[in-house]
Amino acid sequence: IIIVVVVVDDVVIVITVIVVVFRGRRCCPCYHHHHHHHHHHHHHHHHFHHRRRRRRYINAFNKNVDGRSLVEQDCKEGEKERNTERKKEKEKEIEKQGEIKQEKRKKERKKRKRKRERKGKEREKERKRKGKKERERARKKERKKERKKEREKERKKEKRKERERKSEKERKKEKRRERKRRKRKNENEK
């Protein structure tokens, strides 16, 4: 309990300020350094600690009673605010990162799409070219076949002609022979 005596216009006003010594005091700078490393045991001289703690708290309060220090308006609140700030910052950061990632992904997708399209076009071209080649080849083959057939026909014709010629010759020969024979016969009969 702190008693603050204020004199206003010759009237003495005694203000009693009750400071609640609350538990979450670890954040308060005044005993930070000294206390936090063994606060979880030594329960036996708890009282003494408590008293000292309270005294420190009060002293800190008394040092500058200008509203700034209710030990820095209970740095817990400040801590909270800072935390929320930090959280917000983090969230913003994350959001930004997310957006960047999304952008990246979009770009990647576009790239992939373009690549796919290009590949598709190339494949199409290739297919057309191949098709052309194939058709060319087929045409050549056909032509070859045709030519072969033609040649075969020609050869057959030639052969037939040859045969016919031969048979002509043979017939002529035969005729000649016949004539000769007849002549001879006639000669003999004479």
Q: Going residue by residue through the chain (190 aa), what tens digit of pLDDT does each one get?
A: 566 666 666 666 666 655 555 544 444 444 444 444 444 444 444 444 455 555 555 555 555 544 455 555 566 677 888 889 999 999 999 999 889 999 999 999 999 999 999 999 999 999 998 888 899 999 999 999 999 999 999 999 999 998 888 888 888 888 888 889 888 888 887 6
The string of DSSP codes covering 162-183 is HHHHHHHHHHHHHHHHHHHHHH
Q: How many domains does the chain have?
A: 1
What lies within 8 Å, CB to CB, of 57 at 6+ separation is 19, 21, 25, 28, 30, 71
Is 31 domain-assigned?
Answer: yes
Residue 99 forms part of a structural domain: no
* Range(s) of the domain holding residue 60: 1-69
Q: Is residue 136 part of a domain?
A: no
Tokens of 118: 């290009």
In a domain, 28, yes or no: yes
pLDDT of residue 37: 47
Q: For position 105, what pLDDT does the model report?
A: 94
Q: Residue 110 domain-assigned?
A: no
* pLDDT score, position 1: 56
Examine residue 57 and state whether it is found in any structural domain, yes or no: yes
Q: Is residue 91 situated within a structural domain? A: no
Look at residue 93 and give its three-state secondary structure: helix
**Residue 32 near residue 19 (C-beta atoms within 8 A):** no
Asked if residue 22 belongs to a domain, the reply is yes
pLDDT of 36 reads 46
